[in-house]
C-alpha cells in the first residue's frame, strides 16, 4: 500500500480524517490525521465541531488550532462509538478536555495525528499519550526516570534503551492526565516508576508527593506505525 513521503499514512489520506479506531481495555481510542501545516483549519472541518467548540477554535492559531480541532474531532467520533453526544468538549484551567460528569475523556497529539481515549467515568479516570519514536532525544533519562528505572534501562542492549526510555516517558504523561482530576497540580516524572512488560502492559509504582492515591492504576501501550500509544486508567475509592 502506498505511503506518504514520511511513511506514516497510506496514500490519499485526507487531513482530519479517522485513521485509527480501536476498543482497548481502557476505552475507545480514535486517531485523526493532522496536516503538518500552520495554515488555518478549513471552514468545512470547523463545521464538524460543536458550535461552542468552533467559537473557541477560531481564536486559536497555527499548530495549536490544528491540534485542538483534531483532538475534538477524535473525541466526538469516540463518543459516537459509545452512543454519546452531549455538551462541547472545551478546555479546563489545567488544559484537560472538559466532559460530562459521567464520561472520562483524554486527548493527545503529535504533528501527524491527534488521539482521544473515551470511556464512561464509572470505569475510572483516563489518560492517553502519543509519542513519536524519532528523533531520539538524548539526555532525557535524568529528567524523567527514577534511579530504579535508569538501572532497568541500562541493563538493556544499547539499541533498545531509547525505546524503553520513551515508553516510560509516554506512560508517565498518561499517568499525569489520569491523576489530574483528583490532584489538580503538576505531577513530576519522578512521582511514578514504570516497568513495561513485553505483553503491552506496564506495572506502575506511585511515589506521590501529595494528594490522594488511586485504589488501582493500570497502564497499557501499543505501537502505531512509528509512534507509541499509551493509555492509563485510575480507579478511586468512593
What crossing angle do the helices spanning 158-183 and 147-154 adopt, rounded to 10°?
150
Domain 18-123 has CATH 3.30.470.20: no
Among 28-32, 71-75, 120-124, which stretch is predicted with the lowest mean pLDDT? Answer: 120-124
Candidates 82, 122, 73, 128; CA nearest to 105 is 128
What percentage of the chain exceeds 90 in pLDDT?
Answer: 87
Fold entry, domain 130-235: Ribosomal Protein L22; Chain A (3.90.470)
Q: How far is CA 127 from CA 61, 72, 103, 151, in A?
A: 25, 15, 13, 26
CA distance 69 to 84: 19
Taking all residues of the chain, what is their mean pLDDT, rounded to a whole number? 93
> What is the C-alpha end-to-end distance of the chain, expressed in Å?
50
String of DSSP letters for 50-110: -HHHHHHHTT--HHHHHHHHHHHHHHHHHHHHHT---S---B-TTSPBP--TTEEEEEEE-
* 219 DSSP β-pair partners: 202, 232
- Tell me the average pLDDT across 151-176: 96
Dump pLDDT digits (tens) for 78-119: 999 999 877 999 999 888 999 899 999 999 999 999 999 999
State yes or no: pLDDT of 236 exceeds 80.
Answer: yes
State yes or no: pLDDT of 210 exceeds 50.
Answer: yes
CA distance 27 to 25: 6
Query: Do the domains 130-235 and 18-123 match in fold?
Result: yes
Q: Quote the pLDDT of residue 139.
A: 85
Q: Quote the pLDDT of residue 11.
A: 52
- Tell me the average pLDDT across 115-125: 95
Domain ranges of the chain: 18-123, 130-235
Amino acid at each position: 500500500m502506498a505511503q506518504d513521503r514520511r511513511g506514516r499514512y497510506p496514500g490519499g489520506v485526507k487531513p482530519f480524517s479517522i485513521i485509527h479506531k480501536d476498543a482497548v481495555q481502557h476505552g475507545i481510542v480514535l486517531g485523526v490525521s493532522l496536516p503538518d501545516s500552520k495554515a488555518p483549519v478549513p471552514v468545512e472541518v470547523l463545521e464538524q465541531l460543536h458550535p461552542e467548540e468552533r467559537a473557541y477554535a477560531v481564536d486559536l492559531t497555527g499548530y495549536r488550532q490544528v491540534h485542538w480541532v483534531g483532538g475534538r474531532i477524535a473525541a466526538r467520533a469516540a463518543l459516537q462509538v459509545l452512543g454519546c453526544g452531549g455538551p462541547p468538549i472545551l478546555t479546563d484551567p489545567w488544559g484537560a478536555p472538559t466532559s460530562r460528569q459521567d464520561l472520562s475523556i483524554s486527548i493527545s497529539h503529535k504533528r501527524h495525528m491527534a488521539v482521544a481515549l473515551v470511556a464512561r467515568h464509572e470505569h475510572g479516570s483516563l489518560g492517553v499519550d502519543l509519542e513519536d519514536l524519532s528523533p531520539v532525544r538524548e539526555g532525557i533519562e535524568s529528567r524523567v526516570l527514577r534511579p530504579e528505572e535508569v538501572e532497568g534501562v541500562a541493563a538493556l542492549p544499547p539499541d533498545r534503551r531509547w525505546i524503553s526510555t520513551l515508553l516510560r516517558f509516554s506512560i508517565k504523561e498518561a499517568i499525569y492526565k489520569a491523576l489530574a482530576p483528583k490532584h489538580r497540580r503538576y505531577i513530576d516524572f519522578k512521582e511514578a516508576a514504570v516497568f513495561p512488560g513485553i505483553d503491552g502492559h506496564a506495572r506502575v509504582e506511585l511515589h506521590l508527593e501529595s494528594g490522594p492515591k488511586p485504589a488501582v492504576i493500570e497502564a497499557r501501550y501499543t505501537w502505531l506505525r512509528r509512534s507509541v500509544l499509551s493509555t492509563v486508567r485510575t480507579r478511586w475509592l468512593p
